[in-house]
Amino acid sequence: MTTFLFWNLNRKPLQSLIADLAHQHQVDVLMFAECIIPPDVMLLSLNRDGGALYDYAPSVGCEKIYVFTRFPHQFIPPTVENERTTIRHLKLPGLEDILLAVVHFPDKGSWKESSQVSGCYKLANLIDEAEKAIGHCKTVLVGDLNMNPFEAGVVDANGLHGVMSRQIAQSKTRVIQKQDYQFFYNPTWK
């Protein structure tokens, strides 16, 4: 089982706390937004016991999210990226591969509600593009949308189409005006 941690660090130097948490819970994939700690400094903290336990997984176009892993970064290459989103193809030997989409949207003071909705629509299209390129829709979406789980961009079928129960999400799609829309299970809704 792979373990994940996403944290918006809010520009705070929390590398010691992060290292303690990562080691205590044996976190496999660490994802950070608003990280002011350079990747090499974060690695020093994560690997403070002398080993090379963690690796930095560099981006090719995402400036807002850092990814660190307990395995070589070649197992989690970027598939699609933009400034605020990285979608990675996690391919660990012996495990089923998944897409990992990590996002950090601007806060409500910087983005109007209509921009947030539009951002979710664009994010849904990026995920769809990545899923088509990989050939499956096993996607985990994490991050800081700076939105409530029931806002339009999160629940709209054209957006993330987040639903409140695993049972609904397991039905995979719903048809609206003769078009299939995939669900995302949103556990934060509860």
Q: How far apart are CA 153 and CA 124, in angstroms?
A: 10
Whether 179 and 143 have beta carbons less than 8 Å apart is answered as: no
Q: Where are the alpha helices (DSSP H) in 94-182?
A: 113-134, 152-155, 166-170
Does the pTM of the predicted model rise above 0.85?
yes
Which segments within 75-149 are labelled E, that is strand?
A: 78-82, 85-90, 98-104, 139-144
pLDDT score for 189:
67
**Tokens at 53, concatenated:** 């336990």
Say which DSSP state 27 is in. -
CATH superfamily, domain at 4-147:
Endonuclease/exonuclease/phosphatase (3.60.10.10)
pLDDT score for 174:
82
Q: How far apart are CA 80 and CA 82, in angstroms?
A: 7
pLDDT score for 120:
92
Say which DSSP state 76 is in. S
Q: Comparing 158 with 71, which gets the higher pLDDT?
A: 71
